Amino acid sequence: MEMKRLYIFLLAAVALLTGCDSVASDDRLIEVPAATVQRNVLIEDFTGQRCIFCPAATEAITQLQARYGDDKLIAVAIHAGPLSFKSMSGFTGLRTDAGDAYYKHWAVPNVPKAIVNRRGGVLSKDAWAGRVYDEFARTTTVGIDLKCQYDADKRHVEIETDLKTLAEEMQGRLQLWLVEDGVVAPQLFPGDKLDKEYTHNHVFRAAINGEWGAELTLTPKKVQKEKTTYPLPDGIVPGKAWVVAFFYNDSGVLQAVRQKVSLL
């Protein structure tokens, strides 16, 4: 009997040893298995056209989106702070007043930095993958159905959001953002190399319903419908425009979705 117990103990020990692999902490952050996507995740990417390290940060986000899907990991590039520009005569700048308000509110020290689901604070690039993975592993009870159609004659976007919670009553804010892909504008690279025709994607353009959104209370088993008519600003290409919608409160972003602006 004692020999049998010893044999079982040795088998268990071998299984534990063979099941563990020594992996450096840096590699462990990158080589994580794909998370089960139970909700979408918002990454607010603080960036700037004079930031030489920001293109590499953008590429890191692109790689994360390739892993999870760009409709699941929703990226918004917020050009703000001293390394960003506003548009001027003969120069396309991507800085906005709303972006600067977010930059100041979150006390972003420099760029590139990011906030993931508004949890965990302002993060440097090497921490993004781990935080994104953790957020995908979390569950949520909030769902958002987003529709947005463009009326070319009026140059208006009709936005409809249906929000619901499957659990208890929940208070928070619905934020609507205008985002644009394929924006050609200058970007500085290491060595002070300037690419005058760099293509910027998921560029934050405007806060559609105010910088901090609209306050809402979600009730179980009841769909909260919100409709917004938004005049598309001059210079925005409708075919490259997106609406990003997310519901958040003091605990962070509970759900986020995006929808391309489509013609009526």
Confidence (pTM): 0.85
Greatest CA separation for the chain: 88
Any domain includes 81: yes
In a domain? residue 87: yes
Do you know the residue count of the chain?
Answer: 264
| Average pLDDT for 158-174 | 94
Whether 156 shows a pLDDT value over 70: the answer reads: yes
Distance CA 130, CA 241 (A): 29
**What is the spatial distance between Cα 241 and Cα 236, in angstroms, rounded to a whole number?**
7
Task: Look at strands 224-231 and 252-260 and give their pairing.
Answer: unpaired
Write 4-8 long-range contacts (CB < 8 A, 24+). Answer: none
pLDDT digit string, tens, across residues 90-139: 899 999 999 999 999 999 999 999 999 999 999 999 999 999 999 999 99
- The DSSP secondary structure of 62-80, one letter per residue, reads HHHHHHH-TTTEEEEEEE-
**Can you say whether residue 118 is alpha, beta or left, with left for phi > 0 and alpha for psi between -120 and 50 degrees?**
left
Any idea which residue has 């609507």 for tokens? 176
Q: Sort strands 41-47 and 73-79 into parallel, antiparallel or unpaired.
A: parallel
- Give the pLDDT confidence of 26-62 residue by residue, as tens digits: 433 444 444 333 799 999 999 999 999 999 999 999 9
Does residue 30 lie within any of the structural domains? no
| Amino acid letter for position 241 | A
Is 256 inside any structural domain?
Answer: yes
Alpha-carbon span 160 to 33, nearest angstrom: 35
What is the rounded distance in angstroms from the CA atom of residue 189 to the CA atom of residue 150? 36
Which pLDDT band holds residue 12 (cuts at 50, 70, 90)? Answer: very low
Residue 103 forms part of a structural domain: yes
Q: Measured between alpha carbons, how far is 68 from 179 in angstroms, rounded to an integer?
A: 20
Residue 264 — very low, low, confident or very high, per pLDDT cuts 50/70/90? low
What pLDDT is stored for residue 33 in this prediction? 41
Domain count, the chain: 1
CATH number of the domain within which 66 lies: 2.60.40.10
What pLDDT score was predicted for residue 262?
81
Contact present, 112 and 54 (Cβ < 8 Å): yes
Rounded mean pLDDT, 181-193 = 97
Domain range enclosing 95: 35-263
